[in-house]
Structures are given as C-alpha cells and as structure tokens.
Amino acid sequence: MSDQDPLVIFTPSGKRGRVPRGTPVLQAARKLGVDLDSVCGGRGICSKCQVTPAFGDFPKHGVHVEPQALSDWNAVEERYDRVRGLKEGRRLGCQACIEGDVVIDVPAESQVHRQVIRKRADTRALHMNPAVKLCYVEVAEPDMHEPSGDFERLSQALQAQWGIEGVTADLSLLAGLQQVLRKGGWKVTVALHRDHTGAAPRILQLWPGLHEGGIFGLAVDLGSTTIAAHLTDLDTGEVRASSGLMNPQIRFGEDLMSRVSYVMMNPGGTEEMRDAVRRALATLAAELIAEAGLAPEQVLDVVVVCNPVMHHLLLGLDPTELGQAPFALAVSEALSLPAAKLGLDTINPRARVYLLPCIAGHVGADAAAVALSEAPERSEDLALIIDVGTNAELLLGNRTRVLACSSPTGPAFEGAQISSGQRAAPGAIESVEIDPVTKEPRFRVIGCDLWSDDPGFAEATAASGVTGICGSGIIEALAEMRMAGLMDGSGLIGSAEQTGTARSRPEGRTHAYLLHDGSAEGGPVITVTQGDVRAIQLAKSALYAGARLLMDEMGVDHVDRVVLAGAFGAHISAKHAMVLGMIPDVPLEKVTSAGNAAGTGARIALCDTAARAAIEANVRRITKIETAIAPAFQAHFVAANAIPHASDPFPELRRIAPLPEVSFNTGGGDGGGRGGRRRRRG
C-alpha cells in the first residue's frame, strides 16, 4: 500500500491500515483482521456487516475524516434502506467503499466473535464462536457439458465463496437438496457445522435464499432429578427460552445407584431408561421451540452435561460398571453425535449433540462443565469448587494444577433421609435461627419472606402451610443448634435438662429438637432428630474428607476460597455450612455461590467451540483422585464427623460464630455415628 492510500481505523479494535481507494469496508476489515460479520458474503442482503463511520477530527487517531471519506450510497444500500431500514448513521460494510481516511466503528452486533456478558467477572469470558454458522452461497446451475451433482456444485460454491473445503452432508439433507436449490434460484443459505475436532464440515440445513430466522442451540443440564434446558440464539448467545422437567427415570430409582441396580436386575433396563430420558429431552426441546415460536429445523446444536450414570443411560450404555470398582466408563472423552441417534426427533434430526468429557467414573461431564464455567486452571489463588448434588464433585486448583474427586455424600443435603425432610418447595423451612439464650427458634419457609415470628406469617403461609425442612433448612437448623449449645461437638442433641429447653424432647434413647408444632392446624410436627444429625454428619464428613484428600494431594492445609455450585450452593448459608464443618475454614467473604455452574458450562460450550477444545484438554490434565481407594479418606471421614471438626481448628469460623464447648455424652444413649459405615454411592 502506498502512503497515498487512505488510512482506515476500526474501532473498538483499534486495528488500522491503508487500503486502495474504492475498497469496500468489509474487504478492508477482512484484510486487517477486524471481526466484521457477513452471512451473504458481501452481497448486500444480510445486513450483518453494518458499520458506523465517524467524521470530523480524531486527534487520538491522528486523522481528519471528510464527509466524502466513504462512497455515496449505492443502489443496493438504497434498496436495503427502503425495504428494511438502516439505522441512522449506519452503512452496509460490503457496499460502502473507502475513498479517504476514515474511522469506522464496528457495533457489537456486527461482530462474529462478540463477547457475551456474564454476570461474574472472575470467570471465563464467553466469546461467540458456535459450531454452527450460516453461509449464503450462489450455486452454479447444472451444465450438461460438465455434468456434476448438485451437491458437488454446492460444495464448490462453499469453497470458492467461503474457503470452506470438503463439506459433507447426511443422506436426509441430500434428499431435499435439489428442491431447495431450485426454489432459491440457486441461491441458498447453508447452516454449516464446524467444530474443534477437525472433522469435515457438515451441512446441517439448507434454506432457499437468505435465511433470516436465525439458528439456535440447546444447553442441557441433565440431572438425576431434573432436566433443565436453555434454548440459545447461536448468533447472539441470548437465551430465548428456558425450561425444566423431572427426569422420568425417577420411577426406576430415586438415586443413581438404584437406577444402576434396576439395570442389573432387569434385562432391557438400560434401554427402558434410555428411552425414557430421551423422550423427556425431546419433549423439553419441543416445548422450548414452541415457546420461542421457532421451527424445529432451526435448532442445530445441543450440548449436554450430566453425571456419568446419566451420560451412559442417555447414550444407551449399560451403567453397571459404574456401580462397582474400578468404576470403568465405557467411554470418557467428549462425544459428538447426530441428534437422530439420540432420538431427538423434535429438533433438526441432523443437529449435532456434544457431550462434554467425563473426568472419571463418578466425576462426570457435569463436573467438567463446572470446571469450564469456573475455570480453576486460571485461578491465581487456590480455589475449592464444590458442586453439591446427590453426589458432591470437588475441584481444587489454581494455575499450576487442578485436582478432582467425587464424594459419596448421599441425598441428605437435599432433604432426603431427614425425618421431616422434603424437596425445596413452598412450605419447606429454608432458614432457621435459634436464640442462644431462650433456645427458641424462628424460621422462614420457601414462598414467604417473613420470619415465623413476624406478624402475618400464619396468614402469608396459609396456602402452603409449613410442611417440612429442605436441604438448606436442615443445615441451618443443625448449625444453629450447635451455636446455641443444643447439640454438642460430637453431634449429640442434649436433653431438656442439659439444654434448659423443653423443645429438647426425648425420642427413644435420644433427643429431638422441636422446630415447629403444626398439629393444632392439622399440620406436621417438625423436629430435628438425632437420626437427622447422623445423616447430615455422614454427608458432611464425606464432603469434607473429599476436600481434605484433594488438599493432601496438593500438599496444602488450607484453601484460599470456596465456590459452591449447583442449586443447593445458591441457597446454602456459608456461615452455617462452615459451622457444620462441611467446607474448609476460610474467611466468610471467600465463600461464593456460582449458581448452576454446570448449566453455565453447557451454555459456554454451546456458544464457543474453543471452550470445548479447552475443557477437553483441561480434563486430560486434571489429576483424578479416587476417594473409594484412598487410604486417608477413612481417617479424614472419621475426623470430620465432629461438628465442626475433631482436629482442624477452623480459626476463621471461631472469629464469627460461638461454638459452645458442651458435651452431652453421659455414657449411655447413641453417641455413635463416628466411623460410620460408608454408604454406597448414589
């Protein structure tokens, strides 16, 4: 380029360079490596390449931009503006030509790899780089002198007009190809799948002419209990609709291990459960598509995250091996499959389904998704990430190294195995406070912001009633009992005499604390029993022992911060969790909630194939710790049985929470729970 050529400066990238007079802005952007979108390849019909030229003096850039810096509107731009309307100040980048020095702003919506805002700043930024993109092409008509298939001429067009070589297509696409080409007058929009694997690009869908309805993907968090899906615009990253439903496999078994047992006891059980979950996924997809008013053919990519048992059951792989040591997965690496293979017949049958890799036999693709969302491998400080579900998956790491394990907490944290336990639903006690002097409790239930001792509580909760305790409620109740001196460090609930409150009531040879007596209104009597304490002790000991095992492997005795992922993590009180010794001792402000990090990871993988490559590489690098065979696990488990802990000092906790030194063990009764048997995973 000569110095006489006009200088073009793109914002916000700041990329600049000289191009020959008359160069279209789109071409200049490509030449200078500026991210400027185009679906129609510069034909002035898709309007994806809109830019905003700026005129006048720009001392910062050292240029003055004349009003004539860009060519006048041409017929194509005029027609576009007349028919579709161009925003004030905008030009079509493929039509406007550079005639003099100019500053050109590329608005966010004209960038292919635009950044999508995520709520928390400490995690991986999400760039749009989806596996499926649209390309508009003009295909050569058939020529008897040079006979070739319509598909081959379409391939040649993609190569010539987009530089995309070696495309493939499924038979079902070929079946409709000739009609679409003719309907579009040999101009078509191609939905092209290209991921990070180097597999040949696949044509997933064709539309006659320019397709303007957009393309979409589903991010699916396939849990043992619920299935959640987010219908996401693959152009903008925007979630257009979200929904969830119960995993219908629940009728085969509440927890994963009972589903594995079902397979072992029932020939054909794998296929039954496979079909059930696939039908549910297809139904969920259909609902989302209807809600967003889309055509099924527009949904072209799916990312699924799930635990290893769900992973195998969705794929139709027998999960039996996952129920016993050495917990061998049939396949652990990431998978890419056509939707039709998973019976997903409510979306485009050629859509691709991507499953994140599993980390180990019971650290699944959901844990990988958490790792993708929370990016411990980029953390400067040492982060412990805990995804609490029926099993807990733990990640510990920083820039130098990341470790992973799962811990068999069982479902107690979800309110199961608790005498008054229930799922989180209106009427469930979710927060508890106990006055350290009077030993009187107050609580809140889901669906009402009032405390139980606030005026109007009874009226406000009349509809739901007070029905039981959910997972976060039982944690708070126990922690409050510990802080109020109602329960000692070994987890033993004191008698009325020992605690000074009639709410401590004998129950067999142990005691229970009365939280709420609804019997006058025909409701339940809600107590925290010694059995409840033992169930939570088992769960929290497993969780803490898992964390300590990872810390041992890392060679540390503390972590810098704790991230609680999962729906449970979003509702749990960090202070109460620490009182129970569920999580290692850190300053309270260093405990954060990541929300549904697995679901976020699924969305990231859906929008960005580079993230898929990254998590696949990271999962290979993660050091996997198997708690079931680690000799230290049992010792850590036993020591963690105390509340908060038998030996770890928890100095940060002691600064903020009273932990009365009481002991209710009189030699009789059930002081047990220590060295408790390990439950089977599930």
Residues in contact with a copy of itself by CB under 8 A are 141-152, 171, 174-175, 177-179, 199-200, 270, 315-318, 320-321, 325-333, 337, 341, 358-361, 624, 626, 628-629
Judge contact between 567 and 370, C-beta under 8 A. Answer: no
Minimum Å gap between C-beta 305 and a copy of itself is 17
Cβ closest to a copy of itself, residue 125 vs residue 328: 328
Cβ closest to a copy of itself, residue 1 vs residue 328: 328
Cβ closest to a copy of itself, residue 113 vs residue 341: 341
Minimum Å gap between C-beta 156 and a copy of itself is 11
Minimum Å gap between C-beta 488 and a copy of itself is 37
Q: Do the bridges between strand 335-338 and strand 428-434 make them parallel or antiparallel, or are there none, so unpaired?
A: unpaired
Interatomic CA distance for residues 311 and 328, integer angstroms: 13
Judge contact between 579 and 644, C-beta under 8 A. Answer: yes
Interatomic CA distance for residues 130 and 144, integer angstroms: 39
Which residues are CB-neighbours of 4 under 8 A, at least 6 positions away?
none
Half-sphere exposure of 119 (CA within 13 A, CB side): 6
Minimum Å gap between C-beta 394 and a copy of itself is 15
Minimum Å gap between C-beta 143 and a copy of itself is 7
Minimum Å gap between C-beta 545 and a copy of itself is 17
Report the run of H or E that residue 82 belongs to, with start and end: helix 75-83
**Strand, helix or coil for residue 233:** strand
Minimum Å gap between C-beta 207 and a copy of itself is 17
Minimum Å gap between C-beta 148 and a copy of itself is 5
Judge contact between 302 and 218, C-beta under 8 A. Answer: yes
Cβ closest to a copy of itself, residue 331 vs residue 463: 331
State the Cα torsion 467-470-475-479 to the nearest 10°.
Answer: -20
Cβ closest to a copy of itself, residue 152 vs residue 557: 152
* Residue among 362, 359, 353 nearest 391 (CA): 362
Sheet holding 504-507, edge to edge: 504-507, 510-517, 525-528
Minimum Å gap between C-beta 169 and a copy of itself is 8
What stretches of 99-199 adopt beta strand conformation (E)?
102-105, 115-116, 126-127, 132-138, 168-169, 187-193
Cβ closest to a copy of itself, residue 331 vs residue 635: 331
Minimum Å gap between C-beta 344 and a copy of itself is 13
Q: Distances in Å between the alpha carbon of 266 and those of 31, 260, 318, 361, 629?
A: 63, 10, 12, 22, 29
Cβ closest to a copy of itself, residue 178 vs residue 634: 178
Cα-only R_g, the chain:
30
Cβ closest to a copy of itself, residue 154 vs residue 604: 154
* Residue among 290, 279, 299, 291 nearest 205 (CA): 299
Cβ closest to a copy of itself, residue 138 vs residue 626: 626
Minimum Å gap between C-beta 119 and a copy of itself is 33
Cβ closest to a copy of itself, residue 113 vs residue 182: 182
Minimum Å gap between C-beta 541 and a copy of itself is 21
Judge contact between 564 and 592, C-beta under 8 A. Answer: yes
Report the run of H or E that residue 204 belongs to, with start and end: strand 202-208
Minimum Å gap between C-beta 200 and a copy of itself is 8
Cβ closest to a copy of itself, residue 131 vs residue 639: 131
DSSP H helices in 298-359: 308-315
Interatomic CA distance for residues 156 and 152, integer angstroms: 6
Cβ closest to a copy of itself, residue 329 vs residue 446: 329
Q: Do the bridges between strand 132-138 and strand 187-193 make them parallel or antiparallel, or are there none, so unpaired?
A: antiparallel
Minimum Å gap between C-beta 181 and a copy of itself is 9
Token pair for residue 640? 């963690």
Q: What are phi and psi of 599, to 5 degrees?
A: -65, -40
Cβ closest to a copy of itself, residue 7 vs residue 359: 359
Minimum Å gap between C-beta 617 and a copy of itself is 15
Q: Distances in Å between the alpha carbon of 322 and those of 162, 387, 642, 679?
A: 46, 20, 31, 15
* Residue among 514, 512, 444 nearest 473 (CA): 444
Cβ closest to a copy of itself, residue 46 vs residue 302: 302
Token pair for residue 581? 């010794």
Exposure letters 225-239 (e unless 16+ CB within 10 A, then b)? bebbbbbbbbbebee
Interatomic CA distance for residues 97 and 91, integer angstroms: 10
* Residue among 577, 557, 659, 235 nearest 392 (CA): 577
Angle at 266 between CA 261 and CA 272, to 5 degrees: 95
Token pair for residue 600? 């976020």
Cβ closest to a copy of itself, residue 91 vs residue 362: 362
* Residue among 273, 279, 244 nearest 258 (CA): 273
Minimum Å gap between C-beta 152 and a copy of itself is 6
Cβ closest to a copy of itself, residue 147 vs residue 668: 147
